[in-house]
Structure 1
Amino acid sequence: MRARPYTEEVPKGMLHINGRPNLERIVCQMRDELDITEIKIVVGYLSSVIKNYFKDGSRFGVRITYIENNELDKGLAWSILLAGRDVQTPCCVMLSDECYIGSNHRDLLSFPNEEGIAACTIMKAEDSRLIKRNYSVRRNGNRAIRLLEKPKVLENNLLGLGTFILNPAFFSELSKAFALSPSYVEFVTFIDKLCDEKPGVLCFEMQGTYVNINDRDSLNLARYYERSTSFNETSIGLLLYSEGVEENIAFTIQRYRRNTAVSSISVVLPHDNVIEEKIRSCGVNAIVCSKNVTLYGEKLKYALDRLEEDIIILAEAEYAYPEHDINKLLEYIKEADMVTGTRTTRQLIEQGSTMRGLVRLANIALAKLIELLWWRREVRVSDVGCTFRAMWRSCYMDIRHRLVARGPELLAEMVVEIMRDRKRLIEIPVNYYNCSEAMNRKYRNRKTFFRILTMLAKKRWSDKYN
């Protein structure tokens, strides 16, 4: 229950790590690192979510069958017995709420698993609290001498993990244990007893990074580790919003090209514009909207739907945000699903900018209204209308079907939907220069303020009655 409210609609194993459920990562690890093609998934709470996603497993190159556990109170041992009682060969058990990054599961194939009735896995842990929340292991070489569930006093720094190799004889012994204690068998304690009997229990040391996903913080940590590991291979696209009249677009493109982290630059344009050729001559992608796509939000979604980069950065065709601030967004995006800029820091707003006075106060007021309306989500924002932001494409795809705004209120709606989906949003101060006259005339007005206000009211009303 510690993972609530994240698990109110999906099981823990279906929480996303960098764009895909952790259970999918485990299925792929079994397939790619352990050469496993037949997988049994024990399901109970919200089982339809898992079944509808994986189906028969053919999409993932494996065959999946489902084992229904209607007696969850019997614990982990009962789930494992249900799945393994007919197993005729050694099998691997992995828990759906454990995230492994850069691990050496492949080495389990050459480990002498046949020398024991079972093998547990361990990892050296610097944080003793992790061991106390899981189980500890005392070993002698590759032999497990003692396993202790949730120890109060630690003998070493070995953290017991949720990957096990179990031989067929293990399930016979587990079945006998349930015959003696039908209501519950503590799994780690059961394995501990087998350490004293022949052929004993083996112990395999795992390498890499491990996170047990049990709450909001551990979920965010798993996402951070996964994103950081592969960040150098991540593609980063910059999308510039244009009203189709910005004469200095070539200058803006040239400035943003200075940032070598950006893989590609695209400019979204209205159907009727005067700068398309200038953009194409700069060697960047011009996304020209169809004639019926006319409003700010419509155009932005039109372009976002056509981008394929892993991370998408939004900015404006006028050079309103300096290219070096992109680095700020990218540093924090490893820890968040979306990073938005805030233009409310006085020292970073260019003198004479339109983001002063009433405009600045209006943005702050709307941001504080979001905090008030959804105070349980613990979101902290101070600027609802800042274009400059970075988000993972997978995050955008998760919320895309709920983005219904057609006008400039889309930027605020993104913030609300990130928050409603319990994703992580981080806001950072950014430098802000004068925006284009075209943007100023169309969107820095009372109409935009009330569009955002109306959108917030509708979203909050929907939350209350759904």
Structure 2
Amino acid sequence: MKALILSGGAGTRLRPITHTSAKQLVPVANKPVLFYGIEAIADAGITEIGIVVGDTAAEIREAVGDGSRFGVKVTYIPQDAPLGLAHAVLIAKDFLGDDDFVMYLGDNFIVGGITGLVEGFRSDRPAAQILLTKVPNPTSFGVAELDAGGRVVALEEKPKVPKSDLALVGVYLFTPAIHEAVRSIEPSGRGELEITHAIQWLIDEKRDVRSTTISGYWKDTGNVTDMLEVNRSVLETVEPVIEGTVDEASEIIGRVRVEAGAQVTGSRIVGPAIIGANTVISDAYVGPFTSVSEGCRIEDSEIEYSIVLRGASITGVRRVEASLIGRDVEVTPAPRNPAAHRLVLGDHSKVQISS
């Protein structure tokens, strides 16, 4: 069995971060989201992975390499434009051959991995197996309709009037039957080959399509709100360890990881939180659910429930929260200009001015 990871999207919902970085490499708890997916696939016993890449191919190649650090072998599959998930399957045919495979969206995050799902698929081998989860906003997802027996009868991509609240999670399992399906469909109204259309083709052809509804944690990390929520979830599992230096004037509370080379002086850190390697925290407060990457500086400032990327500095800022701070960003106070009111008032006016 092989795996196909899709990492070719533009990441428009995470701009401006993704103007200069692949969305799959934005870190959660100081580790790129893509790495969690690769590790989940490796844990399921799959060692051959194809990664579909687009404009950010060079950055993803540099980060992942040949896959040996994860115990897998990686093959890169260029995609000229993001023309749909089914298009990714189409162009990966030479890599996939006649093997069963799991398709994993590189910016998705599933707590608990996919090992049980893969083992069940290997045993039963339906033509396709999809993961579903209940969502409050099904119009933003591919949506599945199930019959009374729980079998998949229809799929629809981002429906205006959803027939259920069951959204497709970004993990799919296929036998080679999917290759005939992706060759048999036409582009959708948005010009893409939709994987929902390909799976619907299998259903219409009376192939065995099964679903698993998960109640565990899943997020599409395509926007800042979800990215921060995933960061919070992962930090809940942080084991406290101090590898850097923390002076006597500092206070460390709860599950906090201070990585090698980091320096904490005169500061208060409340976990769960991670302070990256060679980062300096001075006269500052770092609150719960905050990940600070390597080589950062936080001085005379307060930050909480945030992600700070490599090389950023926050100096003299009273409070930062629910924020995603990009690489090498500098955050400082605005200059304090003299405040004045300039008035031209008519006779008998009444004016109230907040002081």
Normalised by the size of structure 2, how large is the TM-score?
Answer: 0.70
CA shift, 1:152, in A, is: 2.6
Once residues 394 and 386 of structure 1 are traced to their aligned partners in structure 2, the CA distance between those partners, rounded to angstroms, is 18
Q: How many residues align?
A: 301
Greater share of residues in helix:
1
Q: Which residue of 2 aligns with 1:341?
A: none
Residue number in structure 1 paired with 2:60: 50
- Paired residues of 1:315 and 1:389 also in contact (CA < 8 A): no
Q: Structure 1 residue 386 and structure 2 residue 279: aligned?
A: no
Alignment of 1:448-463 (within 5 A): none
Q: What's 1:133 paired with?
A: 140
Match of 1:234 among 210, 233, 240: 240
TM-fit CA distance, 1:315: 4.4
Give the whole-Å Cα distance in 2 for the aligned partners of 1:165 and 1:263: 37
CA contact (8 A) 2:145 2:154 kept: yes
> How far is the alpha carbon of 1:394 from its aligned partner?
6.7
Mapping 1:66-85, distance limit 5 Å:
66-72=76-82, 74-85=83-94
**Which letter maps to 1:217?**
T
CA contact (8 A) 1:115 1:202 kept: no
* Pairing 1:87–2:97 present: yes
Give distance in 2, aligned partners of 1:143 and 1:423.
52
Distance 1:207 1:164 in 2: 17
Q: CA deviation at 1:50?
A: 0.5
Structure 1 pair 189–305 and aligned structure 2 pair: CA distance change class (3 A): same
Alignment of 1:410-429 (within 5 A): 411=299, 418=308
Deviations along 1:213-244, whole A, 9 cap, x unmatched? 1211111111111112x04x333579544xxx
Query: Which of 17, 40, 52 is equivalent to 1:6?
Result: 17
Residue in 2 that maps onto 1:208: 216
Bigger drift between 138-147 and 54-63 goes to 138-147
User: For 2:131, what is the secondary structure of its paired residue?
Assistant: strand
1:370 matched to which residue of 2? none
Secondary structure in 1 aligned to 2:13?
Answer: coil
Instruction: Report the equivalent of 2:33.
Output: 22
Alignment of 1:106-117 (within 5 A): 106-111=116-121, 114-117=124-127
Taking only the aligned residue pairs, the percentage that are identical comes to 21
What letter matches 1:168 in structure 2?
P
Distance in 2 separating the partners of 1:260 and 1:420: 24
Preserved CA contact (<8 Å) 1:77 1:185: yes
- Counterpart AA for 1:24: F
Matching residue's letter, 1:203? S
User: In structure 2, do the counterparts of structure 1 residues 153 and 392 end up closer, same or farther at CA, with 3 Å as the change threshold?
Assistant: closer
Matched, 1:219 2:174: no
**Residue 113 of structure 2 is aligned to residue 158 of structure 1:** no
| RMSD of aligned alpha carbons | 4.2
- Does residue 175 (structure 1) correspond to residue 178 (structure 2)? The answer is no
Secondary structure of 1:214 counterpart = coil
Q: Is the 8 A contact 2:243 2:261 kept in 1?
A: no
The reply to whether residue 189 of structure 1 matches residue 175 of structure 2 is no
**Alignment correspondent of 1:299:** none
Flag the 1:203–1:411 CA change in 2: closer, same or farther, 3 A.
Answer: same
How many Å separate the matches in 2 of 1:48 and 1:209? Answer: 31
Deviations 1:139-197 (A, max 9, x none): 2446311111112333333221111111112112312336999x642221232232121
| Cα distance change, pair 110–261 in 1 and its aligned pair in 2 (3 A) | same
Q: Deviations along 1:301-336, whole A, 9 cap, x unmatched?
A: xx97535xxxx8x343xxxx8xxx75xx336x49x9
Pick the structure with greater CA Rg.
1
- Normalised by the length of structure 1, the TM-score is 0.55
> What is the CA deviation profile of residues 16-48 of structure 1, one whole-angstrom value per residue up to 9, with x for unaligned ones?
11111111110000000x210000000002110
